Chains A and B, each alone.
Chain A
């Protein structure tokens, strides 16, 4: 990977982005939102590996969207990894779709987006097959958390009920009280924090690192939903030690995904 020619305080040896997407989104224009545009951004920013899910699977067509990811994963081995979306609006298909996708090389976890899935509760029956599979296989499950949705007590109950499932709190749960988020992560070793969105605020990452377990903080950009450059740039220029930055930029993600073996 060629690193961008910028004068950074410290540049991690690798960058792993655990929260990205593919494809257009109905609500707004996203330039170059397809696989080539996403890879172009990875190359420009020096991102080695992304884990991605398709907007189509989150919103309108579960199988079509998961297939878009499968194609991208196949064409970019080792650089693009996939989340299989578990969309409760397709409850009858969900289990088979999870089994199908997770049998494919490069699918490493599950993405859920309660807000765009229509606010089905994450601990409702529709999601149960997904949680059972996550428990059985120790899968990462990345859950969106912006704008309400399930409260932290739901995530706590799920983390207790499925202790081998690795729950990634999307956007670091930034709409919840910060102290409660930290408390949840401290008290549950299978809860992780995805930084996407939180990195839009200067100083937030430093505040988080001061309180939360460092080994469960993960870099995520949410690109192409937003600018990956602004998210990654905030992390790279944060007032962190090189060791802290390395853990967040790639070491923790590699541990979670088994890429460090």
Chain B
């Protein structure tokens, strides 16, 4: 990334993935992520724990808070579940805990795929939780765990976004074959955004910026599953204005996370 662009990576994980062949399965620590951020020229990362993604959200969420405590460049993100089974507390309690632990973002992995957390986005399942996130202004990233040519449950996603128009939602790993349905969805929902490196489309950043504006993309690498450097190269080489690049690199995310407010609150408290 060009050094004068302030960058926040919205999609990074700590921990050790069960992985698969061709992957290193290295245990990624907070120090590793900071080293990667330095290598590609990014300032901050929103991080969740692979233990939350690949094993148990509550356990992984506790782990991520613990591991980033002394690392101000890593902002914790929790993977969340609906509360009805008792695996997670009621939404208002969850929000309190997130606030207490300085958790800045939530992620949903709702797919029925065995690699994900298998719940419906229907309002009678997740509506209360999304209402609580909206009130607290916590952005929600949604990862459908798509395999290469798959597509997400569009109609379900559309209905969810209609019911929660003030919720900030980031689509993670939307991949390369979904523009024909993604574009009308972006048209219909102004607070829906797309993670840059998850959009594996030829000249895709340029196309989305031209059609919808730079406000609809947020920089995110998907590290360690994807290359952090590739995400930086992707944005740095996109043929867009510097102002648009700055919005995508950090402006949009900074606004969603209210980083300026948080920074002021922290300095007043200190």
Which residues of A come within 8 Å of B, CB atoms?
4-9, 27-33, 37, 40-41, 44-45, 146, 174, 177-178, 198-204, 206-208, 223-234, 236-238
Contact = CB atoms under 8 A, between A and B. Distances in A.
Contacts of B158: none
Contact of B202 (A5, A227, A236): A227
A206 B25 CA distance: 12
17 contacts: A29-B180, A40-B239, A41-B203, A44-B237, A178-B22, A201-B22, A201-B226, A230-B233, A232-B230, A233-B227, A233-B231, A233-B232, A233-B233, A233-B237, A237-B40, A237-B233, A238-B229
Nearest to A30: B202
A21 to B, nearest CB: 9
B239 A44 contact: yes
A184 B149 CA distance: 27
B236 interface: yes
B225 A6 contact: no
Given A178-B22, A203-B24, A234-B229, A4 B236 contact: yes
Nearest to B230: A233
B267 interface: no
Nearest to B180: A29
Given A41-B202, A230-B234, 16 more contacts: A27-B177, A45-B237, A178-B21, A201-B23, A202-B227, A202-B228, A203-B26, A223-B202, A224-B202, A225-B176, A230-B197, A230-B200, A230-B227, A233-B231, A234-B227, A237-B40
B120 to A, nearest CB: 26
A174 B203 contact: no
A128 to B, nearest CB: 31
Contacts of B238: 44, 229
Given A206-B24, A229-B238, A6 B233 contact: yes
B202 A207 contact: no
A6 B23 contact: no
Contact of B22 (A29, A208, A232): A208
Nearest to A28: B177
Contacts of A203: 22-24, 26, 224
Given A7-B2, A200-B226, A237-B39, A32 B233 contact: no
Interface in B218-270: 223-234, 236-239
Nearest to A229: B234
**Considering the complex of A and B, which 5 residue pairs feature the smallest CB-CB distances, nearest first?**
A237-B229, A233-B233, A233-B230, A224-B202, A28-B177
A44 B21 CA distance: 32
Contacts of A44: 237-239
A40 B207 CA distance: 13
Given A5-B236, A6-B237, A230-B197, A202 B223 contact: yes
A174 B238 CA distance: 28
B21 A229 contact: no
B233 A232 contact: yes
Contacts of B58: none
